[in-house]
């Protein structure tokens, strides 16, 4: 589950997106200021652990 909200605050309106393994979310411009993250989830009862990865890439605008 991935939550993307609005650019004003961490409250509603927001949308919860179900992401599968290998899915990618790309956003930019004013949307990069939107609250985003993973909502709290109850602990799993199965033997399978919860695993998440996060990679953030940014363009710095600096030149060599």
Report pLDDT digits (tens) over 6-55: 878 777 888 888 888 788 888 777 777 788 887 776 666 556 566 666 67
At 52 the pLDDT is 65
Number of domains within the chain: 1
At 48 the pLDDT is 59
At 51 the pLDDT is 64
What mean pLDDT comes out for the span 60-64? 68
Inter-residue contact 38 to 5 (CB < 8 Å): no
pTM over 0.85, yes/no? no
What's the alpha-carbon Rg for the chain, to the nearest Å? 15
Is the backbone peptide bond immediately before 63 cis, with ω within 30 degrees of 0?
no
Which structural domain, as residue segments, surrounds residue 51? Answer: 1-64
């Amino acid at each position: 589950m991935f939550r993307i909200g609005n650019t004003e605050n961490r409250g509603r309106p927001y949308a919860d997106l179900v992401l599968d393994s290998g899915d990618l979310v790309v956003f930019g411009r004013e949307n990069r200021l939107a609250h985003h993250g993973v909502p709290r989830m109850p602990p799993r009862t199965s033997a399978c652990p919860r695993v998440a990865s996060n990679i953030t890439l940014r363009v710095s605008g600096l030149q060599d």
